[in-house]
Amino acid sequence: MNKSVVIIGGGIAGLTVAFRLKKAGLDVTLFESGSRVGGVMFSTEEDGYLAETGPNTILETSPKVTGIVSDLGLDGEKIYANEASKIRFIVKDRKPVPLPLSPLSFFKSPLFSKGAKLRLLKEPFIEAWDNQYEESLSQFVVRRLGQEFLDYAINPFVAGVYAGEPDHLSVRHALPKLYQLEQKYGSLIKGQIFGAKERKKREETSKQRARMFSFLHGLKTLPEAFQKALGDSIQKDTTVNDVTPMKVGWWVHYKKGNNTTKTVTTDFIVYAGTAFGLKEMTLAKQSKDDFVFFQKIYHPPVAVLVLGFKREDVDHPLEGFGMLIPKVEDFHTLGVLFSSTLFPNRAPRGYVTLTIFIGGSRQPENALKSEPELIDMALADMSTLLGVRSKPTFVEHTFWEQAIPQYDVGFGTFKEKLNDLEKQYPGLYFAGNYRNGISVADTIVNAHETSERIINQVRPSPTPKRVGERTIV
């Protein structure tokens, strides 16, 4: 194709775009400002423990996700989550209660009151929102399902996924499929029933039903495989200062380490760094304020603690995915994954690991505390909820100062700005978890679609052929 592309940022979005474009024949250069690729995706192995410092699982929601794993030759290393992962716990009255998995178990569950269960029967008859203003997730859920569902289903869910608060998150942007179900079918329950056929046509799997997977040596396997496949196309410890559009193509000004600034020309640019990282880059002829604008996307701080214990020092059987903690239960932690239950080789024989999340939009100040303070808070909660009776035998602490972008009410203005910049500057693209979903799977799908847009631009148009009096393409 003899076309070139510069990708800024070596997280999963940038790596996916680079891999697909290189495979399509483009000349690819990926600039990563850090000393390694993978972004927040990293795994550590020590003394028989395996700890994830960022995401812990990937969902098979799309063939694009399974396809990239296969193309990287990782099918033999992929492992699916234990069947027990289908069981999830929500804290109610200071005890972990299994989340019901069927209509029958829902009506038997102590998680919701009789009134809340009867309230659910009204949902198909509630009119769809008329969009007179943008609803928060809290407003949406209370209107359609009631306060209890907000407190004991949605609040802990968004704490676990976004480290966020439903009072601030936009239902339209944070959970767009939920919003679209109501808009299209007039009801969430009707939408779940009738929407299943459409998802099947799109070869998509809902996140509730998608299988979770990792790799034998953790999720770091994915960026390591990308790095091996891309080879010299990756330049680490390299910072892009600014990009300048030419009549045809772009100038890219970058600095490797402390060296002087260098310049390279390219046909396309994909910015795949963080939203808050945009403030460090200048687009010539464009006000720097336009990139600083994206710093307004809130990224709350999150502390991740991976703690190991002797199996005998934890009373709870830990048979499940993990436990989410509603705000109304008033604990210090957001939730915990039963990591050694999910996948093998996460703890030595006779030991278990728990991955605990602290801070987020709910309690940002907690994430800033020292490691000893964080461990004390975690142990206090885990003692009450899981019967942990000892100090940890293993500790891995990771602090993310700006963790997950919050798709709050008004987030649509950021999406519009990105679209406008791409239209105004042909050849400039944006990919990342601030675009169309925060999960690893969402990021891979979005990056796949971005690479397809570029490939379609450079792919030769089919030559029209004359057949009789008709022209076909």
| 210 found inside a domain | no
Q: How many domains does the chain have?
A: 3
Residues 258 and 321 in one domain: no
**Residue 198 pLDDT more than 90?**
no
User: What's 364's DSSP letter?
Assistant: H
User: Average of pLDDT values for 161-182?
Assistant: 94
CATH number for the domain that contains residue 182:
1.10.3110.10
Residues 233 and 271 in one domain: yes
> Quick one: which of 324, 388, 409 has its CA closest to 360?
324
| 190 found inside a domain | yes
| pLDDT of amino acid 191 | 79
For residue range 207-226, what is the model confidence (pLDDT) as tens digits?
677 899 999 999 999 999 99
Cα–Cα distance measured from residue 160 to residue 21, given in angstroms and rounded to the nearest whole number: 33
Which of 169, 201, 233 is the endpoint of a domain? 201
Residues 367 and 430 in one domain: no
Q: Two tokens at 377?
A: 């808070």
CATH number for the domain that contains residue 361:
3.90.660.20
| pLDDT of amino acid 430 | 96
| 470 found inside a domain | no
Higher pLDDT, 328 or 104: 328
| pLDDT of amino acid 222 | 98
Residues 95 and 235 in one domain: no
Q: Two tokens at 141?
A: 């859920």
Range of the structural domain that residue 20 is part of:
4-41+220-296+407-458
Residue 169: beta bridge partners?
Answer: 408
| 465 found inside a domain | no
Cα–Cα distance measured from residue 318 to residue 340, given in angstroms and rounded to the nearest whole number: 9
Which of 386, 403, 420 is the endpoint of a domain? 403
| 231 found inside a domain | yes
Cα–Cα distance measured from residue 239 to residue 33, given in angstroms and rounded to the nearest whole number: 5
Residues 56 and 186 in one domain: no
| pLDDT of amino acid 439 | 95
| 13 found inside a domain | yes
User: Average of pLDDT values for 6-27?
Assistant: 97
Residues 292 and 261 in one domain: yes
Residue 465: beta bridge partners?
Answer: 472
The residue count of the chain comes to 473
Cα–Cα distance measured from residue 68 to residue 221, given in angstroms and rounded to the nearest whole number: 13
CATH number for the domain that contains residue 262:
3.50.50.60
> Quick one: which of 209, 205, 228 has its CA closest to 18?
228
Residues 317 and 373 in one domain: yes
Specify whether the backbone of 33 is left (phi greater than 0), alpha (psi in -120 to 50) or beta.
alpha
Other CB atoms within 10 Å distance of the CB of residue 189: 14
| 308 found inside a domain | yes
**Residue 287 pLDDT more than 70?**
no
Residues 230 and 284 in one domain: yes
Residues 249 and 344 in one domain: no
| pLDDT of amino acid 473 | 45
- Whether 286 and 386 have beta carbons less than 8 Å apart is answered as no
Cα–Cα distance measured from residue 117 to residue 107, given in angstroms and rounded to the nearest whole number: 7
Mean pLDDT of the chain: 92
The helix or strand, by DSSP H or E, that contains position 4, with its residue range, turns out to be strand 4-8
Find the distance separating the first CA and the last CA of the chain, reported in whole Å. Answer: 20
Residues 181 and 156 in one domain: yes
Non-local CB neighbours of 128 within 8 Å, separated by 6+ positions: 182, 183, 186, 187
Residues 48 and 25 in one domain: no
| 51 found inside a domain | yes
**Residue 463 pLDDT more than 80?**
no
Non-local CB neighbours of 304 within 8 Å, separated by 6+ positions: 53, 54, 355, 356, 357, 358, 396, 397, 398, 399, 400
User: With bands split at pLDDT 50, 70 and 90, how would you rate the model's confidence at 200?
Assistant: low
**Residue 235 pLDDT more than 90?**
yes
Q: Two tokens at 420?
A: 């406008």
User: Average of pLDDT values for 370-387?
Assistant: 98
Burial class of residue 133, CB neighbours in 10 A (0-12, 13-18, 19+) = exposed
Model pTM score = 0.91
**Residue 167 pLDDT more than 70?**
yes
Other CB atoms within 10 Å distance of the CB of residue 461: 6
Which of 201, 232, 258 is the endpoint of a domain? 201
| pLDDT of amino acid 464 | 58
User: Average of pLDDT values for 45-66?
Assistant: 95
User: Average of pLDDT values for 315-332?
Assistant: 97
For residue range 383-402, what is the model confidence (pLDDT) as tens digits?
999 999 999 999 999 999 99
What's the count of helices (H) and strands (E) in the chain, helices before strands? 17, 23
Residues 236 and 257 in one domain: yes
